[in-house]
């Protein structure tokens, strides 16, 4: 009689960058960044279970998988290999199934979210007893957004992503999140390509970081909309006109503020509430992928209960 497998699932949230500044080049070849990130209610689902050997399956919910990296380069798969190399856990294999809801190459950190979900999931599956800080350290070896997503909540990311500071400390009391529309022209953009084309320093001349930090702490969506900044946006709009055109459509539809997230191609529009968001979303032609969602208060990567066998 076989034992019941340990099997559960983890929510892996997308993120948006309310600010993204490029402060210069680092000696290690990366760019020095400063960005304020917030996790979203849009999540991939990462399912993990004990198995006789490792395996990875990716399924889609309205997401084009053609730009999906092969397994050796997939961040979720690399997360498994990294844990094995660093910790040498005495355990069997793990089978991972990812249900993709976050567009690939969309600037929403979908690959990083999946890697973060795997790290958190393996910590439970293999009873590794790693602290959040230890998981963030492992995440930093995989990608610049992974530590921020493992940490959860609104955070400031600095360096190449390894320095994380929470925006909210509890002293501000309950804070409302933001409603927003996500939209993508159904194209995938390589983050590495965007950064290779990036030259010089790309910072805000209007103190967007200070404005956004204060706006998030107050839950003030109008102030947040006024402070949005992404130093990569102009270069991406020039190279991919469809992304800039989508941003203009969202502005024309009455959004409070519009910005490209990360290195694109997804654009987000801050709105007053979800009803306002649905009105803005309905104005978009059906050629676009779009969704109304909210920022998460904590972005927790909580492991959920056992799946049905």
**Rounded-to-integer distance, Cα 253 and Cα 284, Å:** 8
Determine phi and psi for 267, rounding to 5 degrees.
-115, 140
| Residue showing tokens 């801050």 | 270
Q: Are 308 and 191 in contact, with CB atoms under 8 Å apart?
A: no
Positions annotated as catalytic residues are: 15, 145
Residue 213: alpha-carbon gap to chain centroid: 18
139 touches 109 (CB < 8 A): no
198 CB burial (10 A radius; 0-12, 13-18, 19+)? middle
- Strand, helix or coil at 270? strand
CA dist 300 and 40 (Å) reads: 10
| Bridge-based pairing state of the strands 155-159 and 163-166 | antiparallel
- Rounded CA-CA distance 210/208 in Å is 5
Contacts of 65 (CB under 8 A, 6+ apart): 58, 100, 104
Interatomic CA distance for residues 174 and 239, integer angstroms = 41
Whole-angstrom distance between the N-terminal and C-terminal Cα of the chain?
15
Q: Which residue from 146, 95, 93 is spatially nearest to 119, judged by alpha carbons?
A: 146
Paired strand residues for 295: 40
Do residues 139 and 170 touch, judged by C-beta distance below 8 A?
no
């Amino acid at each position: 009689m076989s034992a019941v497998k340990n099997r559960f699932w983890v929510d892996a949230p997308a993120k948006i960058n309310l600010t993204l500044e490029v402060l210069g080049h680092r000696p290690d070849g990366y760019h020095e960044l400063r960005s304020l990130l917030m996790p979203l209610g849009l999540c991939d689902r990462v399912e993990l279970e004990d198995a006789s050997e490792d395996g990875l399956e990716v399924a889609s919910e309205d997401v084009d998988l053609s730009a999906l990296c092969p397994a050796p380069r997939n961040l979720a798969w690399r997360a498994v290999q990294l844990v094995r190399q660093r910790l040498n856990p005495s355990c069997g294999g793990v089978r991972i199934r990812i249900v993709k809801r976050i567009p690939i190459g969309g600037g929403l950190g979908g690959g990083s979210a999946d890697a973060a979900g795997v790290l958190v999931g393996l910590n439970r599956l293999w009873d590794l007893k790693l602290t959040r800080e230890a998981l963030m350290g492992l995440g930093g070896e995989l990608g610049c957004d992974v530590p921020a997503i493992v940490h959860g909540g609104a955070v400031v990311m600095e360096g190449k992503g390894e320095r994380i500071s929470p925006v909210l400390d509890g002293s501000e009391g309950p804070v409302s999140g933001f409603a927003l529309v996500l939209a993508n022209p159904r194209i995938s953009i390589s983050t590495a390509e965007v950064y290779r084309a990036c030259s010089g320093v790309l910072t805000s001349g209007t103190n967007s970081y200070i404005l956004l930090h204060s706006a998030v702490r107050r839950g003030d969506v109008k102030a947040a909309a006024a402070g949005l900044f992404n130093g990569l946006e102009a270069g991406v709009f020039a190279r991919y006109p469809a992304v800039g055109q989508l941003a203009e459509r969202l502005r024309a539809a009455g959004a409070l503020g519009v910005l490209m997230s990360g290195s694109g191609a997804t654009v987000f529009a801050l709105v007053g509430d979800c009803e306002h968001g649905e009105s803005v979303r309905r104005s978009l032609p059906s050629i676009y992928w779009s969704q109304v969602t909210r920022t998460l208060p904590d972005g927790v990567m909580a492991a959920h209960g056992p799946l049905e066998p």
